Amino acid sequence: MTQVRPVLVLTHVPHEGPGLIAAGVDGPVRVRTVLDDPDPRLPALGEVSGVVVMGGPMDADDVRHPGLVAERRLLAAAVDADVPVLGVCLGMQILALALGARLHLRHGSEVGFAPVDVVADDPVLGALGIRPTVLHWHSDAVDLPSGATLLASTPTTPVQAFRAGSALGLQFHPEVTRSMLDLWLATPDMTSALDPDEVEAIRADGATHLPTLVPAAEKAFAAFGELVRARG
């Protein structure tokens, strides 16, 4: 029996795990955190069926976290090798840097539930609809990598999602479940810049929007899982 290769999930903080992505993959997942490792031993691309890079509060180009350089190298190689890649929030910014795009620190803050305009078709992102209301939690932004297709945008953050070959980058957080949102809102690192009324507004908006967003996100990540399983 052929052994199924796992999906590598790179995390940066304990509370920003893969969430709904893991269920969509519907197969083995290997979670690693290499953020502060100057010489991380990451698996060879031939050993994985996909690569997922999650969010975190650090800057994508922060030299104080040497593992980010290794993540960038891995993502560039994965795109070259046509390995399915998914980058979320910080993960999208690392992906964009790996593909030669510029990072813009403190470009504009978006925190909470708000719509994004989907501007192009994509087999994964398309499951969310044309103007889904999603969870944002960022202040940095990136330029569109050369040759990539812009998929979604907001006035504050022109590049909210892009497709570059086998790679999909998402600046927002469709992976979040209700329990994950509760965890984020109880995590000081996530809420230190918010006042109590803003925290409660996000909680209330989650109760309103997640019942629609979660089933759509499940379909989106199932589509990503199909790309992963096609690699084997």
Does the annotation mark 175 as catalytic?
Answer: yes
Q: CA of 31: how far to CAs of 9, 43, 125, 179, in Å?
A: 5, 11, 23, 19
Of 71, 89, 110, 136, catalytic: 89
The two beta strands, 141-142 and 117-118, are unpaired
The two beta strands, 85-88 and 167-170, are parallel
Q: Residue ranges of the alpha helices (H) in 56-161?
A: 67-80, 90-98
Among 162, 170, 160, 159, smallest CA distance to 53 is for: 170
Residue pair 53/98 in contact (Cβ under 8 Å)? The answer is no
Which amino acid, residue 93?
Q
Task: Give the span between the Cα atoms of 156 and 108, in whole angstroms.
Answer: 6
Among 143, 154, 169, smallest CA distance to 118 is for: 154
Residue 48's H or E segment, with its range, is none
Task: Give the span between the Cα atoms of 202 and 196, in whole angstroms.
Answer: 10
Residue 181's H or E segment, with its range, is helix 178-185
Say how many Å lie between the first and final Cα of the chain, rounded: 13
Does the annotation mark 89 as catalytic?
Answer: yes
> Which residues are the active-site residues?
89, 173, 175
